[in-house]
Structure 1
Amino acid sequence: MSPEAPPTPAVPFGELDRRIVGALHVDGRASWHRIAKVLGEQERTVTRRGTELLRSGLVRITGFVLRAEGVIVGLKCAPGQARLAGGVLARREDTLFTHVLTGSTDCVAEISCSRERLASLVMDELPATPGMVTSFTQPVLRYVRTAHEWHPGLITDEERAKLEESAAIPRERRVGGLQDLSRGDQLLLRALADDGRRTYEELGRLTGLSDVTARRHLDRLRREGRVLIRTVVSPRLVGLPVEAMLWVTARPADVGAVADGLRESPFVRYASRLAGDHQFLVNVTLPSTAALDEFISDAVWARRVQSVETSFVLSTLKRSGLLSTAD
């Protein structure tokens, strides 16, 4: 589905569907048998519902690789051109997410861009974006939370812990450095980007590795943080219909405390520490606008900031490296 297409109508998920999505958020490659056992549900029912969710395209599993450092790109567009400009950004291979927003910034995206390529991105590539009037870039200094670390509260802490016992949890998140991987490993990552739940038999067939070798290599790549098995779903489908981007400004002395507060909140889906006019970009998903107002005005972390500029997400064109189908 192209980024210019209108959003696909979709009814919010039922309770079991949300719990299955919550389990997949912890481990996108967990078997239906494992998920059913942890959730205390019948395996046949979990298998049927989970398979239907994946087949619908409303829930997708991808092998996510951060190929270079992140750069936040904001666009101000000509009237009526935000979707066009955002679509151009979304179709880039190196774009991680793209949102169309309310407020002074019409479109925001994160692009994987090495420091060596940054000058070309800023001076050559972005100015050529159709529909764009002005742009700004703010390199990511570090990630406070990524979408991979976000857990939307769809399952209990006990259920989450049980799923983590059998998941290949990364020791650290690796940025770039894929050139040193074997051809087989690179083919493995490419196959997982399209479908993070491919069977080991499929992975072996696509990479030329045996099933056993594909399993061993994938476990190693996951534990090394070279690939993150990520579940991609529109937050509104799991009961969080209000999504916003917050541009947060704080004094240098308060940056650490603000980061700690953001990291503790279940509403924060993504937060990065930036170099530029704002110290943080924060993606939040909440059940209501009242909850958003409370989050911005009453949360402990908010008492340490100088300003918060709030932009509602009007349309999501790309999430976790995948063009959107349900936003």
Structure 2
Amino acid sequence: MKRQSVQSPARRSSRASLARRYTGPVELDRLDRDIIAALVDDARATYAEIGHQVGLSASAVKRRVDRLLDSGAITGFSAIVSPQALGWTTEAYVELFCQGKTKPSDIALAVAKFPEVVGAATITGEADALLHIRATDVRHVERVIERIAAQSFVVRTKSSIVLSRLVDAPPGVVRNGSDTTS
């Protein structure tokens, strides 16, 4: 039987612990940020492996990860599957222009029904919302946009197909030697 301190955070997390909600800004010190970076890199790393990377004992890492989970700074652990592996090789961003005072919650309820919509946000500017769509091909994107445009509150849409991803990283990850915390 493995000792708790050797197991990875991803393997030890229960559904109850992952159901915590973000409660506001959390004070993160350099060690917390280093632990989070290690988990982003490999959520299956053991507490001992993370401890070796950041200069802490496995039990100290476990306590910090538990605190980060309790505070909502870490909301869960999951497998990140390549959309291409699932055949979803085409992506688009679609601006939604809505009637009158359409509530964001109404937009969210409507677009959440589409499995192709992998992200949605209200935005500033002329459009009311921006959708991120993944699909098998351009024709599939077109069919999804047609179904979305048929929603009663949608006046029009404006879409852009992604040609290539230039940067695709989680927030706060240092890239090209730049420090995002200064």
The TM-score with structure 2 as length reference comes to 0.71
Please give the alpha-carbon distance, in whole angstroms, between the structure 2 residues aligned to 1:167 and 1:203.
24
Alignment of structure 1 residues 226-241 onto 2, 5 Å: 226-228=73-75, 229=77, 231-241=79-89
Which of 275, 289, 311 is the equivalent residue of 2:160? 311
Q: Which residue of 2 aligns with 1:290?
A: 139
SS of 1:281's equivalent in the other structure is strand
Gaps of 5+ in 1: 1-27, 32-163
CA gap 1:232/1:198 in 2 versus in 1, 3 angstroms = same
Between the aligned residues of both structures, percent identity stands at: 25
Which of 67, 81, 90 is the equivalent residue of 1:220? 67
CA gap 1:239/1:274 in 2 versus in 1, 3 angstroms = same
2:91 maps to 1:248: no
Which of 166, 171, 189 is the equivalent residue of 2:36? 189
SS of 1:254's equivalent in the other structure is coil
CA gap 1:167/1:217 in 2 versus in 1, 3 angstroms = farther
Q: Which residue of 1 aligns with 2:18?
A: 169
Alignment of structure 1 residues 9-28 onto 2, 5 Å: none
Asked if 1 retains the 8 angstrom alpha-carbon contact of 2:92 and 2:134, the reply is yes
Asked if 1 retains the 8 angstrom alpha-carbon contact of 2:91 and 2:162, the reply is yes
Please give the alpha-carbon distance, in whole angstroms, between the structure 2 residues aligned to 1:166 and 1:278.
37
CA gap 1:244/1:173 in 2 versus in 1, 3 angstroms = farther
Asked if 1 retains the 8 angstrom alpha-carbon contact of 2:111 and 2:148, the reply is no
Please give the alpha-carbon distance, in whole angstroms, between the structure 1 residues aligned to 2:169 and 2:19.
17
Greater RCO, 1 or 2 (C-alpha within 8 Å, sep 6+): 1
Asked if 2 retains the 8 angstrom alpha-carbon contact of 1:254 and 1:305, the reply is no
Please give the alpha-carbon distance, in whole angstroms, between the structure 1 residues aligned to 2:114 and 2:67.
30
Corresponding letter in the other structure for 1:288: D
* Matched positions, count: 162
**Pairwise CA RMSD:** 3.1
Asked if 2 retains the 8 angstrom alpha-carbon contact of 1:248 and 1:281, the reply is yes
The TM-score with structure 1 as length reference comes to 0.42
